[in-house]
């Protein structure tokens, strides 16, 4: 059975062509924003899979991103083991709009029932007003 070992969401994922190592920039963690809707210009998802000899080389994956209960993105994700026992899949979403404060959850499902998710919260920042008496 295919195993989803890692699922991480961050702003930018860069792969070093020489060493094949990945650089992840700005992991998404609980965040606060001044106002909503909020536009995230870069949103990347990294998934790392392991498979056994009997598993298919090109399983079908579906990526889903929800803000609260609203699904804002659902798209197929290409997975190709290329004859190896492990593989990485990166999805780059060119701009994501977070319509309201809440939990942003990214879920990746692979045929055969494997599922993984990464969630973080967006809160509305309460403005701090300082009153000074003169």
When asked if residue 80 is in the footprint of another protein (CB under 8 A), the reply is yes
Number of residues that bind another protein (CB under 8 A): 35
Cβ at position 85, least distance to another protein in Å:
7
When asked if residue 22 is in the footprint of another protein (CB under 8 A), the reply is yes
Give the C-alpha distances (Å, rounded to integers) separating 120 from 3, 4, 68, 112: 22, 19, 11, 26
Dihedral class, residue 11 (left if φ above 0, else alpha if ψ from -120 to 50, else beta): alpha
Q: Which of residues 54-73 bind another protein (CB under 8 A)?
A: 63, 70-73
Per CB under 8 A, which region of 12-20, 24-32, 101-109, 115-123 contacts another protein? 12-20
Closest CA to 79 of 53, 104, 106, 50: 50
When asked if residue 36 is in the footprint of another protein (CB under 8 A), the reply is no
When asked if residue 123 is in the footprint of another protein (CB under 8 A), the reply is no
Cβ at position 129, least distance to another protein in Å:
32
When asked if residue 35 is in the footprint of another protein (CB under 8 A), the reply is no
Q: Identify whether the C-beta of residue 67 lies closer than 8 Å to the C-beta of residue 7.
A: no
Provide CB contacts within 8 A for 51, sequence distance 6+.
Answer: 2, 3, 57, 81, 85, 86, 87
Q: Which of residues 81-100 bind another protein (CB under 8 A)?
A: 81-82, 84-97, 99
């Amino acid at each position: 059975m295919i195993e989803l070992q890692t699922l991480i969401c961050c702003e930018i994922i860069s792969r070093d062509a020489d060493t094949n190592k990945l650089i992840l920039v700005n992991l998404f963690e609980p965040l606060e924003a001044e106002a909503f809707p909020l536009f995230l210009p870069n949103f990347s998802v990294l998934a790392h899979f392991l498979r056994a000899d009997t598993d298919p080389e090109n399983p079908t994956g579906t990526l889903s991103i929800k803000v609260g209960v609203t699904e804002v993105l659902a798209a197929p994700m290409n997975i190709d083991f290329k004859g190896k026992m492990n593989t990485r899949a990166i999805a780059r979403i060119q701009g994501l709009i977070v319509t309201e404060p809440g939990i942003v959850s990214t879920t990746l499902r692979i045929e055969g029932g494997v599922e993984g998710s990464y969630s973080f919260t967006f809160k509305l920042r309460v403005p701090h007003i300082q009153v000074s008496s003169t």
